[in-house]
Structures are given as structure tokens and as C-alpha cells.
Chains A and B, each alone.
Chain A
């Protein structure tokens, strides 16, 4: 039985988000919250306290009226690949509890809520602000707990949570594959909630290592880039934009820094 490991395929799941298509409607944020039992409060105005696994940021080119341009940037967890065993994703490197780790089969950065004790080092380490802290126990409006997703475990006060690339959908897809006696899963069997919800079709999800998957071709486009690429976190979320100011903006180049 020792060969199960070698039999098992490894994936590198990732996302490509086309910023030229994104209208900033926020459907991905809503779909994500509903899918992943993300809690919310009556007053969500304090963004330092609210939880949004998928968050749409707004960026402008800073030019006066006729030349003003706006770009919306949906930001899930980047599932940083890091580089090799000695330089994992920043959050994994700092977690003292091994509550967050890189899943070897999928490359997804896992978060085990019951292991987390809320030190929030990972939140400080994450350059993308993709991690959120539960300041309160989740409270659902009456009757809404009946609509929670049974495949996603709810969180409690005092733990950190973040986007999991809807990992439970991968589990579900594999479970179905197993019942049918196969191991491989098709591209359409595992898609994240945000990718499916996007009305503009801006979000594409799949295996970055698989030439048959749409993301494989998209990530190799000349317009593809990643946020804060220079930090070397090696994210698995790519963005597409034809606009130079957008590409430069998300990499936080300062005025005086040299153009590449």
C-alpha cells in the first residue's frame, strides 16, 4: 500500500483574475461569504474588524477628471508558494502552532481553526491582508444558521481565518471521484465560489501545472502579474491587466524607484 503516495497526483491550484473585466460589483465577496459561513455584524463599517475572505479593493490612477481611471482588485488569499522548504509563505513561517501549513497535494495554504490560538503573527506577516481575526463568536440572524454550509466548519472567537480556495469543494469532488473509482478530478469539478459567481467571468480557477486548464495559458500571458511580486512570496493568484499604471500600482513602486 506504500505506493498510494506516488499514485496520487499533485496539483498546484491557482487563480487568474482579469482586472480589465472586473467591474467591482462585489458578487465574489457575497458568494464567498455565503459559501464559507463567514460571519458578519449588524454594522460592517469598521473594516479593521470585519471579515472578508475575498475583498475587492479600489485603485485609481490619481489623475484629474478627464484622465481618471479606476481599477477594482479582488483579493483572495494568495496561497503563496514561497520558495522551497526553507522559505515557505510568510504566514506559515511565523505560525507557532502549525495551524497553517501548505497542503502538499494541492499547494493550498490550510488553516486549522481549532489549532489556532489567535496570536495573529500570521496577520502581521501577510503582506496582502488576507487574514482576519474573529473578535467575537459568530452570531447569525435568527433562522440563518439553517443555511450554513455543512462542508465548512464554523469558526469561533479568538481564531484567524482566511480564504481556503473553497478547499471543501475539492474534498467533495474527490469524494465523488472515489465513489466512481477514479482518482483524477476534472477542471469543472473543482471551482471556487467566487469564480462561479463572477458575472463578468473575470475569475478563472484551475491547476496552474496542467496545460489543459485555462489558468495555465492565462498566467503565461504577457499581461499577467502578481501583487507585490518583488517580495518573493510566489503567490498562486495572478492578475491580468493591459494597463501599465495598474501593473505598477499593485507592485507598490514608489515614484523614485526605477521602472523595469
Chain B
């Protein structure tokens, strides 16, 4: 608004000056048409383009930030709405009851159905999700096809032992507060690469406020650089 108004004032001011100097009739005649012309010009060359640009900007922003991610990622439901909160209280050894190290140093990852069967061999509560667990997986002896949020591409080698036993890092640093979750998070998969959305991060703007917001190559390498760990290609690739 302000730019247009200022221009208008300036133009009318010029016109008044012309009136005062009576003998400059010719000048006045020249000024008048210019002032109407400039108003039309203003509309044509400034306001309209600005409006068009603004509209285009908003549309493209909408496409880029709202529509594109929906096209790029497909959303999948976890098979069971698992609550970490209930279970961390129910088990005896905390996280290690389910996520532990094997004798050869490998990390167990997400526990298999036989772990759940230790308590859920038959229904112990009235929760419909528990009914699903028992009827669809435990009784028929099937594995639960969990989607792994943190799953890295095939070419990446990761070692929990190095980070937990050696670097003494907390799970939260890389995974966020999954250990306190009441419901499972949304899981989204990149339609092109098949990678979990957690790798490249949920924020389209790419701004990272928590250490677990994304886990791309640079995020691993940044921490390695800061903590003095190695950054040769073969550290993290196989």
C-alpha cells in the first residue's frame, strides 16, 4: 500500500506546484496527463506484477512444502501400536530386556515376537492392540513386520557397540525420545529410494534443532568430527 500512496502524493504535489506558477500553463497541460498515465503505469508495472509474483510464490511454496512431501513419501502404519511407556515399567532390566547386545557384539535391534510371547502368550489385558498381537502374530507364530525408523541404506555400516559401549552415547541422541513413547510414531517411506523419512528428516526446511532430527551422512560425520572419531569412507560404509 505505502509505495502507491507515496507516489500518488508526490504526483499531486507536483500538480499543485504547477498551478501556483500561473504562466506555466503549458507545463500544467503536460503534467496532467503524466499523472494519470503514471497511475495506470504503476498499476501495470508494479502492483500487478507484485500480485502475480506473490500469488505464484504462495502457490509454489504450497506445492513445495505441502504437496511435494506427500507425493514423495508414502505413509505406512506400524503393525501394532506399541507403547514403550507401559513396557519399560513392565520389564525388569529397562531397555536392555528387549534391546541388548549379543555375545558377538551385534545389537539385537527390535525384539522378535518370541520376546513378546514371554508375557503375551495369551491375552493379559483388554487392549484391542494386544488382541491383535496375540491373535495375528503370537498364536500363528508369525514375526511382527516392524518398520524401522532409523534403518540406513544398504551401503551403510553402523555399530551400536562403538557408540554405546565405547562413546557412551544415550539412545536419545540419535533416536529421540522413543523410549518414552506411548504410541508408535508415524512411519513414512521415500517412494524413490525406499528409505525411511527419519534419515533425511521431517522438516522440509532442513533446519535441525535436535540431534535426532535427521541422520544423513553429514549428521554422522559432524559428530564424528566433533568427537574425534574417524571419518574415512570405510568407517561407515561396507
Contacts and interface: CB of A to CB of B under 8 A. Distances in A.
Interface of A: 1-5, 8, 98, 101, 103-106, 108, 110, 112-115, 151-154, 164, 167-168, 171-172, 174-181, 183
Interface in B86-130: 101, 104-106
A80 to B, nearest CB: 16
Contacts of A115: 233
A105 B238 contact: no
Contacts of A183: 166
A110 B232 contact: yes
A5 B70 CA distance: 43
Sorted nearest first, the 4 A-B pairs with minimum C-beta distance are: A179-B105, A176-B105, A178-B161, A110-B234
Contacts of A114: 153, 155, 237
Q: How large is the interface on B (under 10, 10 to 19, 20 to 34, 35 or more residues)?
A: 20 to 34
Interface in B201-238: 226-230, 232-235, 237-238
B232 A103 contact: yes
Interface string B131-154: 000000000000000000000011
Most chain B CB within a 10 A radius of its CB, from A154, A177, A178, A179? A179
Contact of A110 (B105, B229, B233): B233
B183 to A, nearest CB: 31
A4 to B, nearest CB: 4
A179 B101 contact: yes
Nearest to A102: B232
Nearest to B102: A179
Contact of A5 (B154, B230, B237): B230
A115 B161 CA distance: 27
Nearest to A155: B155
A180 to B, nearest CB: 7
B168 to A, nearest CB: 10
A4 B235 CA distance: 14
20 contacts: A2-B228, A3-B228, A4-B228, A108-B234, A110-B234, A112-B155, A114-B153, A114-B237, A151-B157, A152-B238, A154-B154, A172-B105, A175-B104, A178-B105, A178-B161, A178-B162, A178-B165, A179-B165, A180-B105, A181-B165
A5 B155 CA distance: 24
A152 B237 CA distance: 9
Contact of A106 (B234, B237, B238): B234
